[in-house]
Amino acid sequence: MKRRYKKAALLLTAAMLLSLTACGAKEDPKEVFDEAVAKNAALTDLDTNMVMDMDMTMDTYTFGISADMSMQASGMNTESMRYYSDSSMVLDLTELLGTNQAIDTITFYEDGYCYTETLGQKIKYAMDLDSMMATLQQSMPSSELQSDLMAEITLEEKDGVRVLSFTADPEKYSEQVTEMLGVLGDQMASLGVQENAMTISELSGTYTLNDEGYYTAADMTMAFDMDMEGSPVTVSCNIQMTINNPGEPVEVVLPDTSEYQEVSLTQ
């Protein structure tokens, strides 16, 4: 009888040790990072809010830009995609003009057309789905991040949630950005920005994860140099994004389009 109890005790001890070992197993930050990016990138519906603060130096002048944007999209990467964003931007032109300028913009997309309302003008122009998705990815830089572009990734728990902290390898991420600019092609050229004209000097940030593995908040700091129409430009910015209820369907309500005048971007 004693031998039976002793064997049972040993089995219980072994089971407890195995359990403790499993509980103590650490997740690989790189794997968690890539899984979170993949899950968010696979979303077909999206409801986000973004706040951005940017400082830009061009020639001898420094400009400040702050923006607050809400964005909803449904059916992304499908022909039935609908997109709507409402943004408020303030340009600090104190050094140049001695004042600030506020710009409110509404942009939406449906049936192969992008619509924009700003500064009292309503225009629309043809845009294929691939170009629209590339533009959307440009406005959400976190969508292109991968662990192999990172110099360091850590994972920790804060206030009961998992938080990924990351620092990019500037050279690798610069190559990624060059590829992204190449996709936008003529759109970037119309702004005076050419391919191979942007170099990232810093990119770091955090992702806050929910129980399903989506990131529901992103906080990123970025610095880069670029060439715009032959003038060197230095930019530093902080971007804070909130992703509301990832994985849930989003209803996108679009304005009436009858007053929008069609223009051509190639003119």
What are the tens digits of pLDDT across the range 167-193? 999 888 887 766 655 544 444 444 444
pLDDT of res. 185: 47
pLDDT confidence of 22, banded at 50, 70, 90? very low
Q: What is the pLDDT of residues 58-92, one digit of tens each?
A: 877 888 999 999 999 999 888 899 999 999 999 88
Least confident segment among 143-147, 229-233, 235-239, 255-259: 143-147
Residues contacting residue 262 through CB under 8 Å, at least 6 positions apart: 123, 124, 125, 126
Q: What is the pLDDT of residues 206-234, one digit of tens each?
A: 999 999 999 999 999 999 888 877 788 89
pLDDT confidence of 10, banded at 50, 70, 90? very low
220 burial class (0-12, 13-18, 19+ CB within 10 angstroms)?
A: buried
* pLDDT of 97 above 90: no
* pLDDT of 242 above 80: yes
Mean of all residue pLDDT scores within the chain? 82
H, E, C per residue of the chain? CHHHHHHHHHHHHHHHHHHHHHHCCCCCHHHHHHHHHHHHHCCCCEEEEEEEEEEEEECCEEEEEEEEEEEEEECCCCCCCEEEEEEEEEEEEHHHHCEEEEEEEEEEEECCEEEEEECCEEEEEECCHHHHHHHHHHHCHHHHCCHHHEEEEEEEEECCEEEEEEEECHHHHHHHHHHHHHHHCHHHHHCCEEEEEEEEEEEEEEEEECCCCCEEEEEEEEEEEEEECCEEEEEEEEEEEEECCCCCCCCCCCCCCCCCEECCCCC
Q: What is this structure's pTM?
A: 0.78
Q: Which CATH architecture has domain 34-262?
A: Clam (2.50)
